[in-house]
Amino acid sequence: MRNQRDGKGKYRVFNNRKNAWVENDGPFEDNEHFVIMLKDKYARAALMAYASAADQDGECEYAIDVQDMANRAGPMHPKCKAPD
């Protein structure tokens, strides 16, 4: 995710529970985020680290869910490519 010239990220996040776009999501704002596309060649490594951290924190079921996603990401994704 590359920041645009206006400081906003490339992708916006939609909150399905509130049926609204996430606001205050710019750099250093309350809802700043980073979107990872599974086809990004670096996605698997990022998700593996995230799953490991969740597991170490005792969130085992969540860690398994993230691990499953990691196993479909990066080099394991059929459309793997460098981020743009």
Tell me if 23 is assigned to some domain: yes
The predicted model scores a pTM of: 0.81
Q: 4 pLDDT exceeds 90?
A: no
Tens of pLDDT, residues 37-77:
999 999 999 999 999 999 999 999 999 999 999 999 999 99
Tell me if 84 is assigned to some domain: no
Structural domain boundaries enclosing 9: 1-35
CB atoms within 10 A of CB 55: 16
Contact 5, 14 (CB under 8 A): no
Tell me if 53 is assigned to some domain: yes
Same domain, 9 and 25: yes
Tokens read off for 53: 């951290």
Same domain, 60 and 73: yes
Side chain identity, residue 32: E
Confidence of residue 34 (pLDDT cuts 50, 70, 90): confident
Same domain, 24 and 51: no
Residue with tokens 């980073």: 34
Same domain, 8 and 19: yes
Give how many domains the chain has, as a whole number. Answer: 2
